[in-house]
Amino acid sequence: MDLYLATDLKSGSIVHGKSGMRDQYVPVRSIHADTADPHRFLEQVRPKYLYVADLDRICRTGDHDRLIPGMAERTCQLLLDRGCRGHDDLLSHPRVKNIIGTETAGEILDTFSGGVLSVDMKDGRVIPWNADPAEFLSSCSEYPFEMVILLDIGGVGTKKGLDSANLSAYRESYAGSLLWGGGVGSVGDLFLLSDLGYDGAIIATAVHTGVIPVEYIRRGKMC
């Protein structure tokens, strides 16, 4: 199972947030880095795989296009959420896989021929349609995405732990490559996801606080 370090960008810095409350995000604090500067942060933490959300672009207040190519060069693969609302929002780079999220591009998913689908959830429902996640995942094989991320926005930054029953139902609903993001709070949660057949997990807070070893992120796998 591949492990991606989540990094949210806002106003030129890596920030830490909770439950999708983007106006309250603050510069990241990590026991593994003494800076929120993106390049210096990556030099210190050294993740193999990276998930990046450009919050300025998602909120239409700016972008981090100048920083992202350099961040990609420091990793083996970067999954990039730029708040895609159309094909012009995709960023071309050999190490970048663009994320197309239901939150911003839900009505035009069938117009994309690749990339990563993010199934964005709040309160256990897929937005913007308030759909059941398992039912929605069962239809995702109709789209030509390389992988799917199930992103529990409400769980981001909380370390609240995972619900094995729901995770199992979601995994059974989609046969393709499936990643989980949001609320991963322990090594036990990672083993749960692996045992259920998930192909990857997106984590941050539990790494920054030392609950999940930083070596996991550096290898991109559980050690």
Q: Which domains does the chain have, with CATH numbers?
A: 2-219 (3.20.20.70)
Query: Could you say which residues of the chain have pLDDT below 50?
Result: none
Could you tell me which of 110, 82, 101 has the C-alpha nearest to residue 8?
82
Provide the 10 A C-beta neighbour count for residue 193. Answer: 24
* DSSP secondary structure of 112-126: --SSEEEEEEETTEE
> Residue 19 has what pLDDT?
53
> Residue 22 has what pLDDT?
61
> Residue 92 has what pLDDT?
92
> Residue 163 has what pLDDT?
84
* Average per-residue pLDDT for the chain: 93
Flag whether the pTM goes above 0.75.
yes
Q: What is the pLDDT of residues 158-202, one digit of tens each?
A: 667 798 889 999 999 999 999 999 989 999 999 999 999 999 999
> Residue 65 has what pLDDT?
94
> Residue 160 has what pLDDT?
72
Cα–Cα distance measured from residue 98 to residue 100, given in angstroms and rounded to the nearest whole number: 7
Contacts of 21 (CB under 8 A, 6+ apart): none
